[in-house]
Structure 1
Amino acid sequence: MPDPQRSNRLAGETSPYLLQHAHNPVDWYPWGPEALEEARRSDRPILLSIGYSACHWCHVMAHESFEDEATAEVMNRLFVNIKVDREERPDLDRIYQTVHQLLSRRGGGWPLTVCLNPHDLVPFFTGTYFPKEPRYGMPAFVSVLHHLAAFYAEHRGDLARNGQVLREALEAMGREGDGALMPDAGLLARATQALRTSFDASHGGFGGAPKFPRTADLELLLRSDGEGVEMLRTTLDGMARGGIYDHLGGGFARYSVDERWEIPHFEKMLYDNGPLLELYARMAAQTGDPAYAVVATGTAEWVIREMQSPEGGYYAALDADSEGGEGRFYLWDRQEVQGLLSADEYLVFSLRYGLDGPPNFEGHWHLRVARSLEAVAAATGKGGDEVTRLLESARTRLRRAREQRVRPGRDDKVIAAWNGLMVRGMTVAGRLLGRADFMESADRALGFVRRTMDAGGRLMSVYRDGRARFDAYLDDHAFLLDAALEILQTRWSTDDLEWAVSLADRLLERFEDAEHGGFFFTAADHETLIQRPKPWMDESMPSGNGVAIRALIRLAGLTGESRYADAAERGLRAAHGAMARYPHAHCALMNAVREWLTPPPLVILRGGREALKQWCAKAREAAPEALVYAIPSDAVGLPSALAARMPGPGGPVAYVCRGRVCAAPTDSLGTLNEILSAC
């Protein structure tokens, strides 16, 4: 166990993950000049360990090795040891995960274990979890350490040569031709077809176990043809029935370890739940099926209840573990449930959620929908309304009982990019489901980020304990820009528009590859590392390039500033090569391509505040995909393109454009409906 009386250099950090290791016997450093200089001075290789607070196998390796005195002695004697929170330093994680894939020819993960040459920071070994003793077909961690130290001492020439080759490979990545070609509708069709090929028609999702939500892929399906929407429905239905969704508390876990969505890896990440919230809310509005609204509402209420700080920002994650075991907070024994519920409640609950069958997780039950409501009603002889009432009562009782358990750890740092994803999701859900509290939650979160993380015109990536730290990355700027444009559709604020324009300007000034197009992950004045990535592909989150390009297209339409559209076009041309090779791996960029090729109607409404509410509702009813901005008559400080769209003397006026084609302004709701119906 960690000795609370002893601390290492991580004790001064704010990251919950780093603080978990602050009392290890390992002489950990945070990444920074002190560690790098010590490694060069002592000529010891760097052992870099990257993880995050909600990571189950990070906890296992910490308990087995980093809390062990004998292992720590070897680490401290042979290496300079650096611990990194991948959520604070996604730049380092992105680079060294890429190196791991190049060296091992397989995917990475966490914990990521990397051994670096201290003189150039180029890795000569990468791995993930290593056990304390040999098992799982892997060597003991201490054995690995001894071999690495010996290799460093005995192969200096090889290190230099191999390091140069690796650097050249990293520099070559992201070079995607001359940017002469523009993605077209054929590329979109290829992406959708590739998703069809890997689609699991039985359970939804793509591929087999483990199965991830892949929200950028699902968003592409939302806006595709009928078959694509059916693929989306099958996936959302499967996830809503499965144990990846928390049927008592709301919200989704990171992924399912099986292909049926039944047993999750129990951590809950903010960045999954924001896009999933939006998808379920949009499907509820598009189909009228109340089951989607139930899931969206449960997810949003969980976020507000458990993941929003008193100051407004959204927290990052809930741990997979509690009381030393994975998922323990979420598991049930049959006798415990029987003791908490009435006989009628237990009867319908056990049938609905599978407690009448065998346990499905290490001798316990993890809840998932085992029978439809209709099947439960038929099996019990009860009416549908009574079944629904009994299930709601049972869930309430069990949720209250669960609240008395030891809760999973919460990573309470606020990450700008992840807040952008949740602000967007909460805003869309609030607008489509008629929930003012969801929209107010999004407002508070955006206000928090602006107030505490963007002082002096330089956005910071992470906030905790009163400190905003780390220069923001591409994703922070892109996701917040996207969220700000979405929230402007819910309530107009010229000040928020000006902030969105500021974010876009900073994207162009500090992140754009002005020569080749597209956006680097780090700013031009960022710390020099062994690579400056330009990420096209979707990973656990949508591609920052894809989100940035789509947001710039929308901002250009709203403000009339062609330089945003020009930057978007340069980015799409630069990404063409990567998209053509692996269309289905670039769905966020594909969503931007669709926006470029078939832009949704843009509706600018000018008039009195009360009258605009009716016009907004009518415009969205006529064209659900339209971008609708209701700008009050008394708004000041508007960009010239918006200021020129004046309100009428007798009431609201609507200005409708689609791409570069605009209809004549109208002060008639009937004419507005006709225009939008024809779009």
Structure 2
Amino acid sequence: MEKKFTNRLIKETSPYLLQHAHNPVDWFPWGEEALQKAKEEDKPILVSIGYSACHWCHVMEKESFEDEVTADIMNKHFVNIKIDREERPDLDHVYMDAVQTMTGSGGWPLNVFLTPDTKPFYGGTYFPPVRAFNRMSWKETLYAINESYRDKRDEVESQAENLTQHIINANSFGISKKATDQISNFFSKDDLDLIAKNLLQSADKEWGGFGNAPKFPQTFSIQFLLRHYHFTKDDDALKQALLSIDKMMQGGIHDHLGGGFARYSTDAQWLAPHFEKMLYDNALLVSILAEAYQLTGQEKYSETIKKTLAFVERELTSPEGGFYSALDADSEGVEGKYYVWSKNEIDHLLGNDAELFAEVYGISGKGNWEHTNILWLKETIEVQAKKMAIDEIYLKNRLKYCREVLFKHRQTRIRPGLDDKILLGWNALMITACCKAYAATGDAICLDMAVRNIRFLETNLRDSKGNWLHTWKNNQSKYLAFLDDYAFLMQAYIHLQEVTGRQEYLFAARNILTKTIDEFSDEDDTFFFFTSVLQEDIILRKKEVYDGAVPSGNAVMAFDLLYLAMIFNERLWLKRAEKMLISLDKVVIKYPYSFSYWAGLWQHMVTGINEIAVTGENAFTIASLINKNFIPNKIMQSAILPTVGMPLLEGKFNDENETYIYLCRNYTCERPLKIIDDLILLLKN
């Protein structure tokens, strides 16, 4: 069907930008054409940032950007730029900081007004079409901004200058005054205990997770607590970590039919999710599920890993082997419609099993969410079987059959929109997750997904000069890779090597590390900028240190530096990793929920790193068995034959090519071992 309006976004590949290609708004993508137009016409720039799976982005589009009267105002007075935050996270970071500084909060959609030289002077998130929620309407906002820009230009430019300077100043991190040459005295076990205590103070002891609604998975906090238990046997840490995982698995945030997890829960009980499914969330959750399985041996974690990766393979994997970004929260313009059920549907589809299924999953005629039903387990199936006096195995089999029936029917519904762009960093996170899942479960499908994906990335996300690129779609790769991309990619290569024994993955990681140091380092060689020196279309280069929905790129860089320093015996890399941690001083301890990935690195510094080498003809088999164990503070290499350039493997082969396990820690090596149980015993000691 012919569209009434088509703007410049029609030439883009981003699903989010294409969603706005037929708005009456004269949208530009971020680029020289739009920026030059603003200067020539002396107009303020409206930058509107969102992503394809964002529910409120859809709402604002429908209410305002599809309205011709509103579009006329925007087109007359502004140069309008649409940005996909997932394609250009660098721009999103800068302008999100500006809005948070101005308003005290942020989120998406993000709408920011800039001077023609791209400096922000006003902004906010969602603006309604009429006054509501104590917010000005979008039209009122547009008129007010235009009037201020026209009549109070000096004030606008002064505000823009002051705001930009504030963001620049906030981007500076001071080095701790503590001496950095006494590393062994800086990191202490008491610090780890205090981090755990501070995390547990914000923990929901009944429903799991941390803080109040809305609840996000906070996988790094859970990971820290799992590892804290491993090192200290602190039962409270383990209890809260497993409670959080279990309640998410039981909750509506977990897709009980198709596998995978939604972005977050809008309530404290994990019942009602914001239904979008993001690749990175599922990657990070698979990673902690793998650790929970290694630590406890409970099959429910292995089963959830399998179902989650089956969802990723079925719905988020391209024919070429790349992983797509997300599934929308909406279908047919309604949030969650694809996933929810009426009692009548359940009765019709399940017949005699409907009553049993409804009781277990909390389904009723009035509904448990907006007059409809989300599948949700208030208690585990095991507990419910006892309460109902039903054989547990029988109940599980009946429920499995019911889920299969409902899943088959759900497949006939109109599906949520797919964001099919492929992002380097998020794919790397999923590679790491697949490797950790393979290590824990031994399921070869996990490893196949990881290996196929790294081949895809190596083939499609590098340019002719050897630069890695951020995004790929329709055989087009674009935008220079950001720090997160490089950091997560190095981490992925590290994990690939641990589960395959292929040393070329470590050489690839080393090459990326040296490039990142050259192109992303800050002035004093401590932290790393989010953008490389090669990128020029941004008003400032930010340094991100907070862990958010994904770990801080700087935190993962510290991990990469620490790991690769020990692999390649590069002391300067180790010193830099230590300097990064020390530079954050006590904020990691005081605010662990914002620095929980960093807190995990703190654990490494305190507990020490176990350097494990396995050599000989059965090295890969033995390494695979070692990987099934929970050894979070390790680096491991395995090789059948000697490999040049790998210090950890040097001198560890014998003429008979017998298989031996070598353990070194704290600059001391143990005697060679042949039996894995002996290694585990040494590690416990």
TM range (shorter): over 0.9
Matches within 5 A, 1:145-544: 145-181=142-178, 184-185=187-188, 186-225=190-229, 226=234, 227-343=236-352, 345-356=353-364, 358-378=366-386, 381-455=389-463, 456-515=465-524, 517-544=526-553
Question: Structure 1's 355 and 577: CA in aligned 2 closer, same or farther, altered over 3 A?
Answer: closer
Question: Structure 1's 617 and 450: CA in aligned 2 closer, same or farther, altered over 3 A?
Answer: closer
Alignment-mate amino acid for residue 449 of structure 2: S
Q: How many residues align?
A: 672
Matched residue, 1:68: 67
Alignment-mate amino acid for residue 336 of structure 2: G
Alignment-mate amino acid for residue 425 of structure 2: A
Greater shift, 224-233 or 558-567, is seen at 558-567
Shift of 1:439: 1.0
Alignment-mate amino acid for residue 143 of structure 2: H
CA contact (8 A) 2:610 2:633 kept: yes
Shift of 1:377: 3.1
**Pair 1:112 & 2:110 matched:** yes
Q: TM-score, normalised by structure 2?
A: 0.94
Alignment-mate amino acid for residue 245 of structure 1: H
How far, CA to CA, are the matches of 1:577 and 1:143 in structure 2? 45
Alignment-mate amino acid for residue 35 of structure 1: A
CA contact (8 A) 1:348 1:376 kept: no
The SS at the match of 1:110 is coil
Alignment-mate amino acid for residue 584 of structure 1: Y
How far, CA to CA, are the matches of 2:500 and 2:538 in structure 1? 41
Question: Structure 1's 387 and 599: CA in aligned 2 closer, same or farther, altered over 3 A?
Answer: same
Greater shift, 157-166 or 667-676, is seen at 667-676
**Pair 1:663 & 2:670 matched:** yes
Q: For each residue in 1:467-504, what CA deviation from the matched residue of structure 2 results, as whole angstroms up to 9, or x when unmatched? A: 11111111001111111111111102232222111111
Shift of 1:259: 0.8
Question: Structure 1's 133 and 160: CA in aligned 2 closer, same or farther, altered over 3 A?
Answer: closer
CA contact (8 A) 2:440 2:627 kept: no
Q: For each residue in 1:42-86, what CA deviation from the matched residue of structure 2 results, as whole angstroms up to 9, or x when unmatched? A: 011001100000000000111111111111000000000000000
Matched residue, 1:52: 51
Shift of 1:299: 0.9
Question: Structure 1's 636 and 660: CA in aligned 2 closer, same or farther, altered over 3 A?
Answer: closer
CA contact (8 A) 2:8 2:27 kept: yes
Alignment-mate amino acid for residue 228 of structure 1: A
Shift of 1:644: 4.4
How far, CA to CA, are the matches of 1:633 and 1:375 in structure 2? 48
CA contact (8 A) 2:272 2:374 kept: yes
Q: For each residue in 1:146-174, what CA deviation from the matched residue of structure 2 results, as whole angstroms up to 9, or x when unmatched? A: 00011111122212322332222122224
How far, CA to CA, are the matches of 1:511 and 1:577 in structure 2? 25
CA contact (8 A) 2:440 2:629 kept: no
The SS at the match of 1:585 is coil
Alignment-mate amino acid for residue 155 of structure 1: K
Q: For each residue in 1:187-210, what CA deviation from the matched residue of structure 2 results, as whole angstroms up to 9, or x when unmatched? A: 433332221221111111111111
CA contact (8 A) 2:499 2:627 kept: no
Alignment-mate amino acid for residue 499 of structure 2: T
CA contact (8 A) 2:294 2:628 kept: no
CA contact (8 A) 1:3 1:24 kept: no
**Pair 1:87 & 2:86 matched:** yes
CA contact (8 A) 1:421 1:483 kept: yes
Shift of 1:583: 3.8
How far, CA to CA, are the matches of 1:386 and 1:20 in structure 2? 47
How far, CA to CA, are the matches of 1:305 and 1:522 in structure 2? 33
How far, CA to CA, are the matches of 1:348 and 1:623 in structure 2? 38
**Pair 1:141 & 2:118 matched:** no
Matched residue, 1:633: 640
Matched residue, 1:43: 42
CA contact (8 A) 1:376 1:387 kept: no
Question: Structure 1's 188 and 374: CA in aligned 2 closer, same or farther, altered over 3 A?
Answer: closer
How far, CA to CA, are the matches of 1:389 and 1:641 in structure 2? 49
Question: Structure 1's 659 and 111: CA in aligned 2 closer, same or farther, altered over 3 A?
Answer: farther
The SS at the match of 1:341 is helix
Cα RMSD (Å) of the superposition? 2.1
How far, CA to CA, are the matches of 1:122 and 1:659 in structure 2? 50
How far, CA to CA, are the matches of 1:506 and 1:541 in structure 2? 22
Q: For each residue in 1:72-104, what CA deviation from the matched residue of structure 2 results, as whole angstroms up to 9, or x when unmatched? A: 000000000000000000001111111111111
Matched residue, 1:558: 567
Alignment-mate amino acid for residue 428 of structure 1: K
How far, CA to CA, are the matches of 1:219 and 1:372 in structure 2? 22
Question: Structure 1's 92 and 621: CA in aligned 2 closer, same or farther, altered over 3 A?
Answer: closer
Alignment-mate amino acid for residue 154 of structure 2: G
CA contact (8 A) 1:28 1:83 kept: yes
The SS at the match of 2:584 is helix
The SS at the match of 1:330 is coil
CA contact (8 A) 2:616 2:639 kept: yes
Shift of 1:15: 0.4
Question: Structure 1's 464 and 633: CA in aligned 2 closer, same or farther, altered over 3 A?
Answer: same
CA contact (8 A) 1:281 1:293 kept: yes
Shift of 1:636: 4.5
Shift of 1:135: 1.9
Shift of 1:108: 0.5
How far, CA to CA, are the matches of 2:650 and 2:486 in structure 1? 26
Shift of 1:320: 0.1
Shift of 1:617: 4.8
Shift of 1:562: 2.1
Question: Structure 1's 543 and 377: CA in aligned 2 closer, same or farther, altered over 3 A?
Answer: same
How far, CA to CA, are the matches of 1:623 and 1:588 in structure 2? 18
Mark the runs of 5 or more structure 1 residues left unpaired by the alignment. Answer: none
Alignment-mate amino acid for residue 114 of structure 2: L
Alignment-mate amino acid for residue 207 of structure 1: G
Paired-residue identity, %: 35
Alignment-mate amino acid for residue 217 of structure 1: S
Shift of 1:23: 1.0
Alignment-mate amino acid for residue 575 of structure 1: L
Matched residue, 1:673: 679
Matched residue, 2:183: none
CA contact (8 A) 1:10 1:22 kept: yes
Q: For each residue in 1:275-299, what CA deviation from the matched residue of structure 2 results, as whole angstroms up to 9, or x when unmatched? A: 1011112212211222222222211
Question: Structure 1's 347 and 379: CA in aligned 2 closer, same or farther, altered over 3 A?
Answer: farther
CA contact (8 A) 2:607 2:633 kept: no
